[in-house]
Amino acid sequence: CPEGAVCRAGVCGHVIQNPIMQGNHPDPDVMRVEGPDGPTYYLSHTVHDAGDLPLFRSRDLVTWQRLPQGAFARPRTAGDSYAINDAHYCALWAPDLTAIPGGYLLGVSAMRFAGAQRPCPAYREDGGVYQSWSPTPEGPYARADHPWEPIPAGAHGPSCPERGALPRSVDYVSDDCQGTWCHHIVRLDGEIWRDPATDRWWLAYAWYTNDPPRVDWERSHHGEHVSLVELDAEDPFAVRCDPDVAQIHVADPHDAQLHEALAASCDGCGEMLAFDRGRQRERIQRSGVGWSIAEGPALFRRGEWVYALMSGSAWDSAWYHVFWVAARSVEGLAWDAPGRLTGRLLIPSDGMSFGHGAPVLAPDGETWLYVHHRLDAEACRTRGDCGRDLWISPIDFIDRGDGHGAVHIAPRWPARPGEVFVPAR
C-alpha cells in the first residue's frame, strides 16, 4: 500500500475518524474529475455571509487543500451582496459542481438582485438556482467574458418561447409560485446529473408551496418538495424546450406511505424520523398550517439501479436526516411509482443530526461514499452554535431478501463510535 495507507481485506485505503474537516462546511458538494494518474476531487459548500464559495481539492477524499481563490474570484465586503458580473447575490448556498462537455458547471442557490444590497436581507424563500461555466474545475466561474452568467436555471429564454411553462428559477428575488404550478419554480438545492446508462441529463431541485397556501392541495402538502426535470442533452445548462419534457415529483414530505416505508425499512428506522421538526423541537407551522421539508437531492447510479438521496426536516433540528429512494429508471423514482425502493441512510442520535451531501465514488472506482455535514443540534438549540463540520460515511449495499439482491442501502447511525475506511486507488 502507499505510504500512510493500510490494508483491509486486500484493499489499500485510509482509516479515518470523523470529522474529515472541522469548522463550518454545510451542504457540501463533491465533484470527481478523472485524470491519467487517477481521480481528483473538488469540494465546495454553503456560505452564509454572501462571500465567495470556497474550493477545496483532494486526491483521496480524506485530506483536503483549500485553493487560494474561491469559485468566482471576485472581491467582496462581508455581509453585503456579492457582485458577479451584472447582478448581486446573497445567501450563496448548496453549490453543485458538475463536469459537462467542454468544461465545468457550477450551480448555486442564491438570492439574486439587480442592485447592491448593503447589508444582505434575510432569506425569505424567494431565491433560485443560478448557473455558471468555467473551462477548468478550479474556476473562476462566470468569467468576465460570460457577462450573462450566472444564469437562472430553466430553458433558455430567447430560444424557448415555452420557458414560462417549464421549471425555472426567478430572474430576481420574488416569493411564492409566480402564478404557476409551484413545482415549476426551482428554488434551491439544484443538482445536475447525467445518467451514465442512458446519457440523459437531469436537474434535481427543491421547491416550495405558496405561503400562505392558496388551494386545498397546498394546505395538505404545505412545505418543501423535491422534483426532477430533464435537461437538454446538447446543452446541460438548459431544461429541454418541450412542453412534454419529463418532470418527476420525487419526494413529498407529507406522504404517509413514505413515512411508513422509512420506519419499516429496518429495526430502529423509526427513531428520530420526522419531516416537520425545527430547531426548538417544535413541529413547524407556516401561516397556521403544518410545514414539512424534503430537500438536498443527490443522484447516482449503481448497476441497474438509480438512487436519489435526500434530507428531511429543518437543517438546524435534531431530526435532520438522510433517506434514499431507488428504482431501475429515473422515472421510477416518482413518489407514487410502483416498485420504488426506499430506506434511511443517516439516522440522527445522541444530539447530532446529519444531512445534505454528495454521493461520490472512492478512488478505487467501486466504493460509494457520502460526504455530508453534521450538526451538534443541542448546541444549536441552546446556544445558537449551529456550525456544521464535514463528515464522510460509507454507502453499504445489503440484500433484504426481496429478490433484488444487494441493492438496498444500509442504515447508519454516524454518531455512534466507529472508524470509516476510505479505499485508495
**Per-residue pLDDT at 240:** 97
Nearest partner of 420 among 372, 388, 348, judged by Cα: 372
Cβ 201 vs Cβ 194: under 8 Å: yes
**Per-residue pLDDT at 231:** 98
Which CATH number applies to 6-423?
2.115.10.20
- The C-alpha torsion from 300 through 302 and 304 to 307, rounded to 10°, is -40
Partners of 374 in the beta sheet? 354, 389
Cβ 359 vs Cβ 420: under 8 Å: no
* CB crowding 362-386: b at 16 or more within 10 Å, else e: bbeeebbbbbbbbbbbeebbeeeeb
* Cis geometry, peptide bond prior to residue 423 (ω within 30 degrees of 0): no
**Per-residue pLDDT at 315:** 99
**Per-residue pLDDT at 9:** 87
CA distance 109 to 346: 24
**Per-residue pLDDT at 4:** 80
DSSP string, 115-175: S--SSPPPP-S--EEEEEEESSTT---S-TT-TT-SEESBS-TTT-TTGGGS-B--SS---
**Per-residue pLDDT at 3:** 78
**Per-residue pLDDT at 280:** 98
**Per-residue pLDDT at 233:** 95
Nearest partner of 109 among 42, 169, 155, 154, judged by Cα: 169
CA distance 96 to 110: 12
* Per-residue confidence in pLDDT tens, the chain, 425 aa: 877 889 998 899 999 999 999 999 999 999 999 999 999 999 999 998 778 999 999 999 999 999 999 999 999 898 999 999 999 999 999 999 999 999 999 999 999 999 999 999 999 999 999 999 999 999 999 999 999 999 999 998 788 999 999 999 999 999 999 999 999 999 999 999 999 999 999 999 999 999 999 999 999 999 999 999 999 999 999 999 999 999 999 999 999 999 999 999 999 999 999 999 999 999 999 999 999 999 999 999 999 999 999 999 999 999 999 999 999 999 999 999 999 999 999 999 999 999 999 999 999 999 999 999 999 999 999 999 999 999 999 999 999 999 999 999 999 999 998 899 999 98
**Per-residue pLDDT at 100:** 97
**Per-residue pLDDT at 159:** 85
DSSP string, 292-340: EEEEEEEEEEETTEEEEEEEES-TTSTT-EEEEEEESSSGGGSTT-TT-
